[in-house]
Structures are given as structure tokens and as C-alpha cells.
Amino acid sequence: MTSSTNAAATPLRVGVVGLGWMGQVHARAYTRVGQHYLDAPLRPVLVAVADNAGDARIARTVVAYGFADVHADWRDLVARDDIDVISITGPNFIHRDVAVAAAEAGKHVWLEKPAGRNAEETAEIAEAVARAGVQAAVGFNYRNAPAVELARQLVADGRLGRIEQVSITMLADYAAHPEGALTWRYQNEWAGSGVLGDLVSHGIDLGRYVVGEVESLVCDTATFITERPALSGAAFAHTARGTGALARVENEDYAGALLRFAGGARGSLTSSRVAVGEQCTYGIEVHGDTGSLAWDFRRMGELQVCLDQEVTDASYATHYVKAGDGDLGAFQPGSGIAMSYDDLKVVEAHRLVRSIATGTPEGATITDALRAARLVDAMAESARERRWVDTADISAS
């Protein structure tokens, strides 16, 4: 084996804060980077995890993923001198504290969204990252789908003509059951917001990435399940059921917004966490004056395109992504072979690895997270004050 192969790459020592589902997704992504990207400049190695659940599940998971050590307190993990990068996949209310401490300790970070509970916290993270000169990736994974990368390129190349209409949908049913427990997700002190931070942040990043910046918006929100039963002890899973007394839900189940993009396009964004019958119904449609496209996460390897036709009676065709579209070639040899959600996280991890190796940010960064957070805060302001909000300055901040 020559020194140019991935096996000889410099180790990148990894710590993970929070070893629930998303922490495990991150751990798998790190270990797969070198398998899909043979020329990856660094080789991620799992070192330690911090999780205070303290149950048998965590113990088994730590062993299964090969972490050498586990800490009950994330501060002990951050203080280690044998870790280069930290994934922050715990609940929203720890993101700011862990990320700022990690950056100040000279460690790179990979943050799940929302980075902070609001734009103020996200700005604190961004400032700490800038001061420390470390890299910070953020989990806007949907932009990594090869079909989305192709959609962005088609828009940038003018294949759709002048963009006129954009429709973004982020619908889920994870909170639709009225007996779903009043976990941290429904309390602003812990979550920051409801569907705005959870799903709308993804949707607004998707719109920004494919079409461009948003100059102004107006938003309406609603809470349809206004009370939920309390749960004894800690709970993090979406499916947790409550049996205790009913208590007030503090944040929104639904958000609907009208958007004005910098290029003149008009858009809409609809998102709900209580949409019965909808599971991960995430997508974007873009209409220009000469063509259109549409992408649905549930059919991730397909892009619906309407191109190079007369503008009346035109029809869509299905483009199956192929090697050369985004990063598909790192995973599959040809079109029609599906990628997975986890694969999008491998793309994200690889871009972080390259960012660390070169010092030049790639992929979704803390800057993207801050712009999304400011747009989400603008939506909350709009809904609260029932008015349009100017957001033109966000793209320049």
C-alpha cells in the first residue's frame, strides 16, 4: 500500500456529544468517509463520546461503534487533548454551550441544526468559530442530494430562464399524536422554537441554496395541539407518550410563509410537524419563464425537469441522477441505484474533512446556519406582529 492511499492519511480524532439516533448517524458517516472518498485527506477515527443517559443502550452503542471512552459530562470530552473535531447532536439547548466551548478549545465542530435556539445563540457560535479559526459544518443535509446539486446548477446556468415561482414543502407527522409527551421539543426554553427551528430551517436553507437569498417575507404560525401530557423522567424520542397531567405547548406546530427572493421570484414555504399522512414530505419546486424542476426527498435520486420545450403544453421528464451529478459517483456506479439519508451525511462529513484539511470551508457552514436562523427569527417576528419583514440585509451579514 502506497503512502498516497487513504489508509495512510493523517488521523482525524473524533468526539461525539449525544449518542442517540443522530449521534449514531454522525459516527457512521465519519467511519465511511474513507470508504467512499479514497483520496480523503484525513482519516476520521472515533475516540470518545459524551452522553448522560447512562443506560444499557448507550453502553451497547459505545461498544458497537468502537469508541474508546464514554463521558457523562460533555465538558470532560471537550477538555481532552486527543480530539480534533466534535459532533454536537444532542438537544437544542446544549448546542451553543458545547459549540462555543469546543471552538475555544481549538476543536472543529459539526453541528446539527438548528445550531442555536435562535439567531443570537447561533451568532455566538459563529463568533467563537471565527475567533478560534476552526471549521464548523452544519447539518443541512438535504442540499447534499445529487438531485438538489443538479437543480442548483440548472438554475445557476439559466436553464429555467428567469425564476418566477418557488414552492418549498416540509411536512411530517412526528408530533401528530395528541398523547405525544411534552418533551423538551415543545418548550421554548429548551427548543427555542417548534417547527420553525426543526423543519423550516431545513426548508429555508434548501431555498437559499437552490434559488438564492430571500429579501422579505411574511409568515403565519399555529399550534394545533395546544396541550400535551407530561412524562416522568427525561425523554428525547419523537414517539414518547405521556401519561401525566396536561401542560401547555409553547411553540408552533405549523408555519406558512410567503417569500420574495432577491432575483424577483416569489415563493411559498409550508411546514408542519402534525400533518397526518405525511412522513418526510420534503421538497422544492422551481418555475422559471422557460423551464421548471421539482424534487421530492422521498424519491431522492430523481429530479423532475421540464426543459428545452415550448412554454405552453410542456411536460416533465424524470432525470435519474447519475455519476457526475453531485457526489453520486462516490456511492453508486450508475443512475437508478438509490442513495440513502445516511449517505447525505457521509457527503457532509467528507466536506467537513476537506475543510479541516485545507482551511477553506466547504458545504453548509455556520454562516449558512446563521443566515437560516435570522430568517427563522424573521418569520417568528412576522407571525407575531402580523406584517412583512425586510430580510435583505441577512445575506450580507
Domains and CATH numbers, the chain: 6-141 (3.40.50.720), 145-336+363-396 (3.30.360.10)
Going residue by residue through the chain, which has 397 residues, state the pLDDT in tens, using 9 for 90 and above: 334 455 568 999 999 999 999 999 999 999 999 999 999 999 999 999 999 887 788 889 999 999 999 999 999 999 999 999 999 999 999 999 999 999 999 999 999 999 999 999 999 999 999 999 999 999 999 999 999 999 999 999 999 999 999 999 999 999 999 999 999 999 999 999 999 999 999 999 999 999 999 999 999 999 999 999 987 655 556 667 787 899 999 999 999 999 999 999 999 999 999 999 999 999 999 999 999 999 999 999 999 999 999 999 999 999 999 999 999 999 999 999 999 999 999 999 999 999 999 999 999 999 999 999 999 999 999 999 999 999 998 865 5
Q: What is the DSSP letter of 365?
A: B
Q: What is the pTM of this model?
A: 0.94
- Retrieve residue 328's grid coordinates: 453520486
Q: How many CA atoms lie within 13 A of 129 on its CB side?
A: 29
- Retrieve residue 179's grid coordinates: 398523547
Q: Distances in Å between the alpha carbon of 374 and those of 371, 388, 390, 391?
A: 5, 15, 11, 8
Is 253 in a helix, a strand, or coil? coil
| CB contact at 8 A, 286 and 160 | yes
| CB contact at 8 A, 109 and 85 | yes
Spatial separation of the C-alpha atoms in residues 364 and 299, rounded to whole Å: 22
| CB contact at 8 A, 282 and 202 | yes
What is the Cα gyration radius of the chain? Answer: 21
* H or E segment to which residue 88 belongs: strand 85-88
User: Percent helix, strand, coil in the chain (nearest 5)?
Assistant: 35, 25, 40
Is 346 in a helix, a strand, or coil? helix
